[in-house]
Structure 1
Amino acid sequence: MVNCCDLVSEKNEPVPLKSISVELQVRDHVASVSSCLQYVNEEERPLEAVFVFPLPADAAVCHFSARIGEQEIVAEVQDKQSARDQYDDAVSSGQQAFLLEESEESSDVFKLSVGCLSPGQKASITIVYIIELSVQADDALRFCLPAVLNPRYTPAVSAAGVPEVSSASVIPYTLSLSVEVRSSDRISKLESSCPLDPLEFLDAQHTHATVNLTAGHRFDKDVELFLYYENSHQPSAVVEAGASAAPSGSLMGDPALMISLYPEFPADVMSSLASRGEFIFVVDRSGSMDCKMHHGNDAQMRIESARDTLLLLLKSLPMGCYFNIYGFGSHFESFFPQSVVYSEDTMEEALKRVKSMSADMGGTEILQPLKHIYSQPCYPDHPRQLFIFTDGEVWNTKEVLDLVKRHVYSHRCFSFGIGEGASTALITGMAREGSGHAQFITGTDRMQPKVMQSLRFALQPAVDNISVDWTVPEGVKVDMLSSSINTLFQGQRALIYAQIKGQSSGKKEGAVTVKYKLKDQPVTNQLQFTLQPTEDTGLTIHRLAARSVIRSLELEERAEGADAENVRKRIVELSVQAGVSSAHTAFIGINKDHNQTVKGPLLQRRVPVAPMALQMDFDSTMHYSMASSNSMIESDDESDQKAEPLKDPVLQLVSLQKATGCWELNASLAAVFGKTEDEVTNQKTAQVDGSVWATVLALIWLYAFKSDQQVEWQFVAMKAASWVRSQKPDSLSQCVCDGNALLGCQVTEDMLGI
């Protein structure tokens, strides 16, 4: 009989995974994550525990070990099929075995199999991975420990042989998390979506600090950490010595170099954002978009937040560009047959349809709408910018990424993962292959500021003719390991991995020069670095570099006309040599000292991944299927739902703006200011017309009372200021003065940009 205090599954079976402890070590912008999973077999027969769980898509898994009693078994990386065969043979013969493998369909899903635990036996499993921390809109470095693994939606036509998905019970795993940060830069602060103990600095310079997750945390949602440095845009170069046991000339034997650059574009180029482009917004309208953004009482529905964001985007577009909006689920539809010119009429028509958008389109099939978009001809001199919003995951992630990559020269792709469990492989992969930028909206994050940051990137001039040149002493050669840089954004980090070959008897300095063209203007960024390896960093940079090469090879393997077998062989060789995971390898560990006769079939227990997540059966292809219409929360509401009135005053103001950038003087605008129409009309400067007066008032109100949301309304304000300047009104200074008097504030003309 199961003790009531023990963890049990929905079928009242004991859950062998009891707790998870994580140690996070951060050096500058690279994190090493060590996760320890405690298993106990509380049943009366030998047990196999199977655990399917998420990891960040860009993680390089580099260590896997198991401790049983006093014995530690360290796993090796081997060819995946060979590792599976060894695992099956070991378990069937009564040996203890441990297998860790990456999904063949999506690089952010792993399966851990713990085989042949004797009754009452405990096992401690340790998994270590390393990852580059992503840069956020406010320059924070973001780390996410994913707890939720959303179901992979598989269309019914493809579901043959795919196991059924069933709901998991609420399993209250406990999580302990300790964080240590070391940096060459001063640490400003560390914030989290979960409660933390106070940050403790271990040196006077504030470059070394520790913090712990508050005790008793239940691992029922993603844990996010946001790390702030004082000089986050400082370029850097780190040289790491190779492994002494690895052959010279190999990636692991030679020194490895990691360059971090933060391109700063000339001010005169950045002052005028692009006024041309084709903007296509692709919005997930599957049933799960009818879920809340977070668990708070004031949380919006995901589809509601998407509607508000589309309003802001539509109002922020430049006159004369082209645009269209797609909704997708089990099928897709577009607002217009093809992209249309942005004008007052087309904007208003789109806004009417946005208000009636609902989460009523079934599953998550993104491939077909993308194929349709890419089949549409591009408009000359209007670069295509694709914005994709989704909260789900698809079973054919790699097929989607391959499609985006094939069209990289005709567009840029900006992707947004909404809510916990959004696939990092899908979201970061689409942005990477589409030369764009990825954002994740989780917890209490507002969608609008993150989307508007990406719009700023989309409106930046495209960077052309990017080249990377190395200046090194005679006898030394630098080989790029990273894929070619095909996109740069103002202030966003660009990473370069390289292998240093040969030696110099004299000079120990080198330099990297990145050259590119911006609006036909040549720009050069250069960084000096020392060839001397830094202190021991545990081959972290080598493994991140190997992971980068492996991901490139995996794309090459799937490319049309590729010598797939030869590329696969190179992937396996590098994965084994570097000790990092890939789609074609797995970690395998066998306790050959333990041998017992197994009577009857081995019990198998599948461990629910997290509360609120869905438990998944896992087959050799790792496809997931929605086996019935009830397998996923779907919305029964039809698209005739009445959209709620806008509650956010900024969105109320923005909704009243015309496509040209101006506002009209009316009661609705006055209400945003907390005034009557008569009060606003009576104070109007005599020499200006109503629209100029209304637009100046709107700008004053935004700058005076909503400066904390400026990232959201910046483009709306830029359009408004441009429109005011085009009117060349008389007595503009008096108009601003009168507006300040009416609204009770002091905003200058220079601040308004008029």
Structure 2
Amino acid sequence: MTVPITPLRPEEYRPAPEAGFGTLETDKGNLPLRSLGVTAGITGLVAGVDVVQGFGNPFDVPLEATYVFPLPPRAAVTAFLMEADDRVVEGVLKERGRARADYDQALAEGRRAAIAEEDRPDVFTIRVGNILPGEEVTVRLSLTQPLPWEDGAAEFRFPLVVAPRYIPGVPLPGPSSGDGTAPDTDAVPDASRISPPVLLPGFPNPVRLSLTADVDPAGLDLREIRSSLHEVVREGNTISLRPGERLDRDFVLRLAMSASSSLTLVPDTAAGKPAASADTARDTARDTARDTPHDAAGGAVGEGTFALTVLPPDGSGDRSAPRDVVLVLDRSGSMAGWKMVAARRAAARIVDTLGGGDRFAVLSFDSVVERAFTGGLVEASDRHRYRAVEHLARLEARGGTEMLAPLEEALRLLTEDAPGTRPNDASGASGATGGSAPTGAGARDRVLVLVTDGQVGNEDQILERTHARLGGIRVHTVGIDRAVNAGFLGRLAVLGAGRCELVESEDRLDEALEHIHRRIGSPLVTDLRVVPDGLEIVPGSLTHVGSLFPGVPLTVRGRYSGPAGALTVAGRTADGGPWEVRLDGHPGEGRAVRAMWARDHLRGLEDRYAAGDRSLEERIVRTSIRFGVLCRFTAFVAVDTRVAADGAPRHHVIQPVEPPSGWELPAPVPMTVAGAPMMAMPASFAPPPAPGGAVAATRGSSPDAALGTPGGLMPGPVPPAAPKRRAARGFSAGVPSMPGERVAITGFDGVLPLLREELTRLRAAESLPERDRRRHLADLASRLRVFVVMLGDHPGLAALAADLEKAEDAGTSLGDLWRRTVELLEGLTGGGGAGGGSGGPGDRAAGEVPAGPPAGQPGGASSEAGTPKRRAFWKRS
């Protein structure tokens, strides 16, 4: 295949030497997205957020701009506005196909229009059409999100970048459904909608970012506010980003505050009118689920929404049943750098929590699945745990993210040879899958732990293939990334009645793992049920009920009918005794409770749809429009009545996104073609051609060619066992080390906090019985081995680890070995315990993203022709 290279004329561009490789600068700019403003009002444990995006047209012809961006996965989007030429157009929520048709028709008629669509729980797309030359258009989104609370702290997390995701499967024929860099495949039919091009590292900050959060404790005891990943300015309880921050990582605030059990009742008449379409009345009339009259707000007369929060009882969970645990670790190329270090450490810590009566397996995967042990589950003996940690220490990031196969293998291991199981979650929640399984004298808890960044595009395929097999298995997910795929990991954890922990830095890892350890242990209260008193719960409206764990409150939302009343939450304690708490309802107002319930309810319906129940499509659309909350089957569309252009826009640009902070991507290698310097990837990393065939690699007539080349997903190796599958698309870990070569993953400063933590643990264990102290030293040996690998080598730690491996031998002097260990750790750490030190691999700068855009799409621009035809990709047949 021949790809012509058309150079730009000198008068068409101006080099920008400090802008990073491959970037150019034009007089008018080259990106449509000018600004992004986020304003959050946090009241108690609820956040109301307004997102304002400013688009401009630097070209000489009308423009259609596309922006793929993230939102919190549990957020309910309830309003959409477009502002242009001193006109404000309110968005209308419609069935997605109808909204797309209205948008396309408006553009064809020369009118301005904008459409907001959800492609994943945390990935959204906005298209703004017929932006006139030199004009600026503003779009506004309003959303509401709950703040999770645990161990005395709430978390406000707002994502700012869609990280590249691994796209498996065989490319589909026909036009793509979107304008992204990845082709649609049979496993990810909308891959081209979730793969925006990626800016080169060093590109001048293209978007003005502002983010402000106003915190109102609403009567709760607010003790501390911490920002995890950004430099902020605080004035009272108002937190603002410092100017100049980039959209390359999540914004995270942690609020140390109290919480209390409560029941809030919000009648529909107090919830306000939702942002629904003019067709709401007609769509609501079709809702035959309940034969009751509806008011103008779309709710039933006499109905409302409740929010129930119950704190767990005092105490800690004492595990009484043995466990079967399968640990699945992602070692794909996108995990390179600090993420791989943190993932190995997380997995090793989980292995260390297992007891002698437990069984376990460790699976690692990229394009292939590797096991720490052959066969099935093995006993969690000291020997097996050491071998597992040793296996984990050898893992390096590489290849593609083929996640489905290891998850299916993990479920197979947990369902084979199981003498009995315990009910992981006997809730009556609508859509819950973590149900009860047979119990008996040999009953065992079954647990699957997935450690990954979650950067895959085939989430629906994974959920569909695993959903039916999750009964009786609790699934916990540990998401490690600064731009984690929280939507998918959260959905998987909910379906598996488990927990999702997000780790944006190594400093956060220990806290997150403590939560996972508690989750793997037994809950305080199980078999929970909600019993109404004085009001009626609308059947099928309860969100997930779950179980009560130490430090984690239970939050349940649902619909009710009746004037007022109370709810009782009843269950069974770990020792089999009854437990219950009764809460009287207190009236509330505003749309937050109603919107958050609708989002949770829709998410449950969408997951059931993804798992194979295609009959839910019409019900999902009706529910979304009735309650005015965006979902994957609906869209907000804003259409101006005034004609502004002569037909459809003649230019289409998809906004490139920032490289995620902390990612270490393969660097491009230089080569020369026909005497002109350019960049290209090695053959194994060559980007695929753009859908529709090859066109010019550089379009001199397009100012947006100044972007250089967008990053996007690079092909990785194809597993030998699957010769018919196309080349797996993922990130490579870069140049591998020579066999036997020890490569330092971090400097000593990166290991120092871990050594301090080990010293603190060692001092705390001095009073344990001799057997437990010997086991502690033997387990410490496995962790020291990991530190040695992280450092490349360390003779002192390596020698101590070798001696500690013999700690359980009766002939080994425990006192001498214990003293040696304390002295070495004190010498290395200066005698400090846990909590000191910082830095490490998580502070390293991100590597370069690969060069080489899909041919003919410099800077993410799509065809100059009319609006491309798009398939109804969200309807999977």
TM band (smaller chain): 0.7 to 0.9
- State the Cα distance separating 1:661 from its structure 2 match: 2.2
CA positional deviation for 1:636: 3.3
User: Contact between 1:25 and 1:31, CA under 8 Å: does it hold in 2?
Assistant: yes
Q: What CA distance in whole angstroms lies between the structure 1 residues aligned with 2:153 and 2:780?
A: 41
Contact 1:221 1:611 in 2 (8 A): no
Are the structure 2 counterparts of residues 41 and 461 from structure 1 closer, same or farther at C-alpha, using a change threshold of 3 Å? closer
| 1:649 alignment partner in structure 2 | 755
Residue 421 in 1 paired to residue 483 in 2? yes
Q: Where does 1:145-224 land on structure 2 (aligned, <5 Å)?
A: 145-157=158-170, 164-165=181-182, 166-169=197-200, 170=203, 172=205, 173-182=207-216, 183-192=218-227, 193-200=229-236, 209-224=237-252
Contact kept? 1:101, 1:110, Cα under 8 Å:
yes
Separation in structure 1 between the aligned mates of residue 557 and residue 129 of structure 2, nearest angstrom: 38
Q: Within the alignment, does 1:628 sit opposite 2:715 as a pair?
A: yes
What is the aligned-residue RMSD (CA, Å)?
Answer: 3.9
**Map of 1:135 onto structure 2:** 149
Please name the residue that 1:663 is paired with.
777
| Cα distance between partner residues in 2 of 1:45 and 1:323 | 62
Q: Are 1:350 and 2:402 counterparts?
A: no
The letter for the 2-side match of 1:499 is R
Q: Is the 8 A contact 1:323 1:339 kept in 2?
A: yes
1:152-191 Cα shifts (integer Å, max 9, x gaps):
2112535666663454233522211222222221222221
Q: Which string of whole-angstrom CA distances, capped at 9 and with x for unpartnered residues, describes residues 428-476 of structure 1?
A: 1111111111111114534233123201221124854221101116xx6
Aligned ranges 1:611-622 → 2 under 5 Å: 611-612=659-660
Q: CA offsets, 1:371-430, max 9 Å, x none?
A: 112122153333121111112421211222344432332311110111122211111111
SS of equivalent to 2:777: coil
Contact 1:358 1:637 in 2 (8 A): no
Counterpart for residue 658 of structure 2: 610
Which stretch shows the higher mean deviation, 156-165 or 426-435? 156-165
Cα separation, partners in 2 of 1:658 and 1:10, compared to 1, 3 Å: farther
List runs of 5+ in structure 2 lacking aligned partners.
1-11, 183-196, 274-280, 282-292, 420-442, 666-686, 692-710, 717-728, 766-770, 785-793, 804-810, 837-877
Question: Retained in 2: the 8 A contact 1:308–1:651?
Answer: no
CA 1:512 to 1:107, structure 2 compared with 1: closer, same or farther past 3 Å? same
Between the aligned partners of 2:597 and 2:36, the Cα distance in structure 1 is 28
Change (3 A) 1:663 1:226: closer
Residue aligned with 2:595, SS: helix
Counterpart-to-counterpart distance in 2, 1:692 and 1:611:
52
Matched with 1:690 is 813
Q: CA shift at 1:501, angstroms?
A: 1.4
The answer on whether the counterparts of 1:252 and 1:577 sit within 8 Å (CA) in structure 2 is: no
Contact 1:46/1:598 (<8 A) preserved: no
Using the TM superposition, name which of 443-452 and 690-699 deviates more: 690-699
In the superposition, relative to structure 1, how do residues 436 and 147 fare at CA in structure 2: closer, same or farther (>3 Å)? same
What's the secondary structure of 2:246's corresponding residue?
coil
CA contact (8 A) 1:130 1:544 kept: yes
What SS does the aligned partner of 2:252 have? Answer: strand
Q: Which consecutive unaligned segments of at least 5 residues does structure 1 have? A: 201-208, 292-300, 681-687, 710-754
**Would the aligned equivalents of 1:515 and 1:522 in 2 still touch at CA under 8 Å?**
no
- Structure 1 residue corresponding to 2:515, chosen from 453, 457, 479: 453
Which stretch has the larger CA shift, 303-312 or 573-582? 303-312
Instruction: Tell me the number of residue pairs that the alignment of Structure 1 and Structure 2 aligns.
Output: 653
The reply to whether residue 282 of structure 1 matches residue 314 of structure 2 is no
TM-superposed CA distance for 1:616, in Å, is 13
Q: Which residue of structure 2 lines up, in the alignment, with residue 405 of structure 1?
A: 467
1:494 is matched with 554
Separation in 1 of the partners of 2:39 and 2:487?
23
1:527 CA displacement: 3.7
Q: Corresponding residue for 2:261?
A: 235
Q: CA deviation at 1:2?
A: 7.6
Match of 1:296 in 2: none
Q: What whole-Å deviation, never above 9, does each CA across 1:133-161 have from its counterpart, x for those lacking one?
A: 1235x532112221221122112535666
Please give the alpha-carbon distance, in whole angstroms, between the structure 1 residues aligned to 2:660 and 2:517: 32
Aligned to 2:602: 550
Alignment correspondent of 1:583: 632
Q: Hey, what does 1:113 align to over in structure 2?
A: 127
Deviates more, 1:326-335 or 1:455-464: 455-464
Task: Name which of 358, 363, 367 aligns with 2:404.
Answer: 367
C-alpha distance after superposition, 1:11-58 (max 9, x if no partner)? 756111111111101121111110111111121110000001111221
Cα distance between partner residues in 2 of 1:429 and 1:477: 24
Contact 1:274 1:461 in 2 (8 A): no
| Letter of the structure 2 residue corresponding to residue 132 of structure 1 | P
Deviations 1:662-696 (A, max 9, x none): 43799999x9999x99xx9xxxxxxx993377569
Residue type of the partner of 1:568? E
Distance across 2 between alignment mates of 1:498 and 1:123:
38
Q: Using the alignment, how far apart are the partners of 1:665 and 1:3 within structure 2?
A: 60
- 1:483 Cα deviation after fit: 3.0
TM-fit CA distance, 1:122: 1.1
3-state secondary structure, aligned to 2:623: helix
Equivalent pair of 2:312/2:524 in contact (CA under 8 Å) = no
Could you say if the C-alpha distance between residues 11 and 94 of structure 1 is closer, same or farther in structure 2, counting changes exceeding 3 Å?
farther
Is the aligned partner of 1:379 residue 2:415? Answer: no
- Give the superposition deviation at 1:257: 1.1
Are the structure 2 counterparts of residues 617 and 199 from structure 1 closer, same or farther at C-alpha, using a change threshold of 3 Å?
farther
Conserved? CA contact 2:344–2:393, under 8 Å: yes
Change in CA separation of 1:637 and 1:652 when aligned onto 2, cut-off 3 Å: farther
One-letter amino acid of the structure 2 residue matched with residue 602 of structure 1: R
> CA distance change for structure 1 residues 45 and 26 in 2, over 3 Å: closer, same or farther?
same
1:310 and 2:347 aligned? yes
CA distance in 2, matches of 1:468, 1:667: 47
Q: Secondary structure at the match of 2:52?
A: strand
Q: Which amino acid aligns with 1:190?
A: I
Question: For the residues of structure 2 that align with 1:385 and 1:33, how far apart are their CA atoms?
Answer: 36
- Aligned with residue 483 of structure 1, among 534, 543, 566: 543
SS at match of 2:233: coil
In the alignment, what sits opposite 2:364?
A: 327
Q: Secondary structure at the match of 1:371?
A: helix
Alpha-carbon spacing, 1:94–1:128, altered in 2? closer, same or farther (3 Å):
same
Q: Is 2:527–2:571's contact at 8 Å kept on the other side of the alignment?
A: yes
Distance 1:636 1:190, change over 3 A: same
Is the counterpart of residue 97 in structure 1 residue 136 in structure 2?
no
Matched with 1:205 is: none
Paired position in structure 2 for 1:297: none
- Quote the offset at 1:109 in angstroms: 1.0
Structure 1 length as normaliser, TM-score?
0.78
Once the two structures are TM-superposed, the CA of residue 84 in structure 1 deviates from its matched residue by: 0.8
Residues 549/477 of structure 1: CA separation in 2 closer, same or farther (3 Å cut): closer
Q: In structure 2, what is the Cα distance between the partners aligned to 1:331 and 1:378?
A: 24
Please list the CA deviations of residues 481-522 of structure 1 after superposition, one character each: whole Å capped at 9, or x if unmatched: 23342333222122211223133xxxx5x2221112233523
